[in-house]
Structure 1
């Protein structure tokens, strides 16, 4: 038998295991590109804030929230870059399954990072423009919505698909 056997997974595709891994890798890269754009926009917004006159009027909580957001943006950017770094290290070592599996886990962490960044940024903007209570409420509501959209909906769809 050859190294590459026919593989037909749950996808219903007639592709080899290597073809499936290549497709999965390409799909993960596309998802990371979308995440990267979102993080770049939010990080760019955050990086311009200290250069605004009003930044000096932020209280300690707002400055701390701002700095936490900058750290989250930086860490999320690093997570988005990590699969590329892993790919460079594993390139031509016949470890595509390891690469795809690790990139899947890393992408889930990056999604959590951009979710936290979105919550933190919205909280900061609402806090500065409308007040602390509005900032906390906006952050709480957005957090709940993101948990529903990023956790509950995919889990529910997976359960529904498994039941079919």
Structure 2
């Protein structure tokens, strides 16, 4: 039997910790997957609207880059499910959890880029304002603060 992981504040084995972390990770991924899939689905429909043909070259380029980012974010956030399915029962859950966590973090970064491109495109089409890049930058800073800043501050402040 493995040694308890008491240095992490819980009396659990390495395998029990991996099981718990896997369950927690899956809940996190479900939230992100839903968001990226709704956004990606919306993006896929835009090209089939009459308004798309009226977009300028720059806006069409922003759209295409955003769609590719959405596709990669979707694939990356679904990656942990495939990883789990392919390694299930092979006694590598702690390693699978580490890789799934990396995929999830990469997926969040790609989701951030997708949301940035979407917001930029929508605001460029909806307004003629020179303020659009500043609004988008402000929203990106907010996402960075909520998604990475606060968690990293909490991690630094409350762990050894």
TM-score by length of 2: 0.92
Kindly indicate whether residue 91 of structure 2 is the aligned counterpart of residue 131 of structure 1.
no
Structure 2, gaps ≥5 residues long: none
Q: Across the two proteins, how many residue pairs are aligned to each other?
A: 160
Give the aligned partner of residue 41 of structure 2.
Answer: 44
Moved more, 57-66 or 77-86: 77-86
> What is the aligned-residue RMSD (CA, Å)?
1.5
Alpha-carbon shift at residue 132 of structure 1 (Å) = 5.9
Q: Distance in 1 between matches of 2:115 and 2:41?
A: 13
Give the aligned partner of residue 147 of structure 1.
Answer: 144
Q: Secondary structure at the match of 2:130?
A: helix
Moved more, 99-108 or 87-96: 87-96
Moved more, 138-147 or 28-37: 138-147
Give the aligned partner of residue 156 of structure 2.
Answer: 159
Give the aligned partner of residue 7 of structure 1.
Answer: 5
Moved more, 70-79 or 150-159: 150-159
Alpha-carbon shift at residue 59 of structure 1 (Å) = 0.4
Q: Secondary structure at the match of 1:15?
A: coil
Aligned pair in 2 of structure 1 residues 71, 43: CA closer, same or farther (>3 Å)?
same
Equivalent residue in structure 2 for 1:60, among 53, 57, 61: 57
Q: Secondary structure at the match of 2:47?
A: helix
Alignment of 1:57-96 (within 5 A): 57-96=54-93
Structure 1, gaps ≥5 residues long: none
Alpha-carbon shift at residue 131 of structure 1 (Å) = 2.4
Alpha-carbon contact 1:125-1:135 (below 8 Å) kept? no
Q: Distance in 2 between matches of 1:86 and 1:132?
A: 45
Alpha-carbon contact 1:127-1:133 (below 8 Å) kept? no
